[in-house]
Amino acid sequence: MRKTAVMFVFLALVMFAFRSLPELISWPSYFPKPVYDFKKRPLTAAQIELGRALFYDPVLSIDSSTSCASCHSPYNSFAHTDHSLSHGIHDSIGTRNAPALINLAWNTLLMWDGAVNHIEVQPLAPITNVSEMGENINHVVFKLNRSLRYRSLFYSAYGDSVVTGQRTLLALAQFQLSLISCNSKYDSVRTGDASFNAQEQRGYDLFLRHCNSCHTEPLFTNGLFANNGLRIDTTLNDYGRFRITHDEKDSLKFKVPTLRNAEYTYPYMHDGRFLSLYDVIRHYTSGIQSSGTLAPQLRKPVVLSAAEKTDLVAFLLTLSDKKFIFDKRFGPPQKK
């Protein structure tokens, strides 16, 4: 009898311990296994908070003008509305469109050309780029070490107030890994809490037929690189993944972006050439440029009627996650 009671108390305690653990991140059961190894480097609330402070702080740029959020705004699903190409210090313009920063834990290679192989080292690229932040990680660490506010945030995050490059980058990664978008209408339909209207359903059927092989659900990207038949912009001469691999087969291939929150992330494509989802669909039906590396799925023309295009857009709008956009945990931190 006593034994049972002890067991019961023990079990209750265990359950209580699990319940009291705040859930930092979660994702639906129909998502695949994340690429990021959360077992090796578990997220902590303090590291996410530090990463959030860094993400919104222009201290990462050489002249304290540009933060990550300058081009990755929470209200645009961490992309940059109205700017076809990202811009940085001294009003300089980069060569690529700032992509949405969501569901990054499922990404193997980052950037439009896959130049970066791990989310923890990604911030080095914009920090160092002369058209973005024009800084170097060494000097960032120097500046952070001078700041009492950051010394205390680093202490909370790592139990040690010394700022290092690794700790800075790890915190930025943790915040960005926490940006999980999975509360769109599409998700409610998946979980049985909502249903598509007739138009959305027609759009979904069209999506499965024409788009899903690359923009694969539920993440709406297969994470691979493809040439989607864009005419080369001769002012940029951007050959995408070829620059990284030097392999002819990768010429004009760019990362397949997620379509989640596409409503908020215009303009579209690696160079932001299309302003609306209609423009994008029109490209796939009548703008494909043929070349040796063109995606095999696009070799046969995609034929959609005007009504079908509207249906497809109606479906794409079900991928919008308003809850994510206005989630206070992801917005600018309140400075104490």
Partner 1 sequence: MVKRFLFLVVPVLLFVLSASFVDLRPITVQFAPYWGDQPVEMDSVYYSEKNKDSVKFTQLRFYISQFTICEGAFSSLLSDYELIDLSRGTSFGAPRQYYSMNDITVVEFNLGIDSITNTNGVGSGVLDPTTGMYWAWHSGYINLKLEGTSPSCTKNRGKFQYHLGGYSAPYNALRKVRLPVEDDDDIIRIKVDLKSFIESVNLKEQTVVMSPGAAAMELSDQAVDMFSIVK
| Interaction site with partner 1 (CB under 8 A) | 41, 115-121, 124-125, 127-129, 136-138, 141, 164-166, 169-170, 173, 244, 246
Q: How many CB atoms lie within 10 A of CB 150?
A: 22
**Cβ 96 to partner 1 shortest distance, Å:** 12
Direct distance between the N- and C-terminal alpha carbons of the chain, in angstroms, rounded to an integer: 53
Nearer to partner 1, 112 or 204 (CB): 112
Q: Any residues with CB less than 8 A from the CB of 256 and at least 6 apart, and which?
A: 214, 215, 221, 222, 223, 224, 225, 226
**Cβ 40 to partner 1 shortest distance, Å:** 9
Nearer to partner 1, 141 or 319 (CB): 141
- Measure the CA–CA gap between 316 and 131, rounded to whole angstroms: 32
**Cβ 130 to partner 1 shortest distance, Å:** 10
Q: What is the DSSP string of 90-154?
A: GG-B-SSPPPP--SGGG-SSBSTT--B--GGGTTHHHHH-TTTT---HHHHHHHHHH-HHHHHHH
Q: What is the DSSP letter of 26?
A: -
Nearer to partner 1, 44 or 297 (CB): 44
Nearer to partner 1, 37 or 82 (CB): 37
**Cβ 244 to partner 1 shortest distance, Å:** 6
Nearer to partner 1, 92 or 199 (CB): 92
**Cβ 78 to partner 1 shortest distance, Å:** 20
